[in-house]
Amino acid sequence: MSTSGRGLSPEKYEWLQRKLKEFALSPEAWISTLMSYGISGDCLTGRASACPVCGGDDRFTYDNKSGRGDWICRKCNDGYPMAGDGLQLIARANRMGLYRLMCQLDGGSPPPSRARVSTPAPAPKRKADPAFVARRLDGMWSDARPQAVGDLSMRYLQERVPGLTAGSSPSLRLGMLEYRHEKKVLGEWPGIVARFELPEGRLGTLHRTFLDPVKPAKATIVSPDGELLDAKLNDMTLNPLAGGAVRLMSPVDGEIGVGEGLETVYGAFMETGVPAWYCLNRVLLSRFVVPDGLGIKVVHIFMDFDHVDLKTRQSPGVSAGMVLAKRLREQGYTVVLHRPRQRGTDFADQWRSRWIAAHESAPLGRRPAYASRVALAI
């Protein structure tokens, strides 16, 4: 949670820090408090809804995942995801500072007068039974087939990362997957199932990339009301994901690379020959933990070169990579940072552009063949 104390005296800043740390509510009280500050109950059901901050349709989800009124908006931050807790949501939606908000909450003052929303308060979202989640994920993994040369998953990856020389990965499978939207099954599509493991080897979740059944491309999935839905989704979470990754390849000579996305790290592998894992997104990349027992001494970080966030004046992907690099260096690892040359791209984009340019410019029979260091499957 941001606890910016700009403009506060040291005494007020210290008070704010303490109050933020101590503040706690039950799931029911979070919903009541959020609604009292004008957050519609329609936004607090756990389903995708309009964002009370940016106003965008079907991009906001309130999940109270950590018990602090937690939420995420997929495009709140100038087109990039943003997440926070209930206090941040109130502060952003009401354009007020956290200090002012905590003064009101601590003193029992009523929230500022706002038009009340007639929507009844939703019941707090119940957490799924861990035994049910484990059965679901184990069943999905068992039903999927191990990745094989020439199957739809490999053809998709070779289309996205042309010339890809990495073999099949034991962390990827190909299966027929149900696509659920707002608790309804829209149909089945073939898809890549990726096993996301925590540092000690426990399963965190399965990440799914839904594929077109005919051509090597992501599936086009449309909701009943015409919304184009994401073709890449995590399934249910069995264990908290911080620290983990999808372990596509084995470390080589004590080195491993990590990046955000599946295609990104395969592009990085083709660029550098470094075996790579992926962490699903930039937040999880920044929290990656090197597992014990694999002899890893050098970590290559493949950063997405995102456009600058106008609020933070940083490239989100680069910033996440730098956070990880600082922590790993403090822990004694050698860290090598990699960034694409062109802003707004990742390593899949860079590799694809370079491969196409080289092949289009070379005479037939003399087109380049790129060699990569051998990446061994775990």
Within a domain: residue 74?
Answer: yes
Same domain, 174 and 60: no
- The β-bridge partners of 94 are none
Same domain, 151 and 228: yes
Question: How does pLDDT run across 202-245, given as a tens digit for each residue?
Answer: 999 999 999 999 999 999 999 888 888 899 999 999 999 999 99
HSE of 272, CA atoms in CB hemisphere, 13 A: 26
Same domain, 90 and 208: no
Task: Tell whether pTM > 0.75.
Answer: no
Question: How does pLDDT run across 233-263, given as a tens digit for each residue?
Answer: 999 999 999 999 999 999 999 999 999 999 9
Tokens of 189: 């599509």
Same domain, 295 and 220: yes
Domain count, the chain: 2
Angle CA 146–152–153, to nearest 5: 55
Within a domain: residue 284?
Answer: yes
Same domain, 301 and 357: yes
- CA 175, CA 148: separation in Å to the nearest integer? 12
Question: How does pLDDT run across 40-54, given as a tens digit for each residue?
Answer: 888 888 888 888 888
Containing domain of residue 42, as a range? 10-107
Q: Which residues are CB-neighbours of 100 under 8 A, at least 6 positions away?
A: none
Question: How does pLDDT run across 95-125, given as a tens digit for each residue?
Answer: 888 888 888 888 755 555 444 444 566 666 6
What is the pLDDT averaged over residues 166-187?
Answer: 92
- CA 46, CA 31: separation in Å to the nearest integer? 11
Within a domain: residue 123?
Answer: no
Q: What value does the mean pLDDT of the chain take?
A: 86
Within a domain: residue 374?
Answer: no
Within a domain: residue 372?
Answer: no
CB contact at 8 A, 192 and 159: no
CB contact at 8 A, 248 and 265: yes
Within a domain: residue 36?
Answer: yes
Within a domain: residue 297?
Answer: yes
Same domain, 78 and 139: no
Q: In what order do the strands lie in the sheet with 60-62?
A: 60-62, 71-77, 80-84
Burial pattern 172-193, b for ≥16 Cβ within 10 A else e, equals bbbbebebebeeeeeeebbbbb
Same domain, 64 and 144: no
Tokens of 238: 């069995």
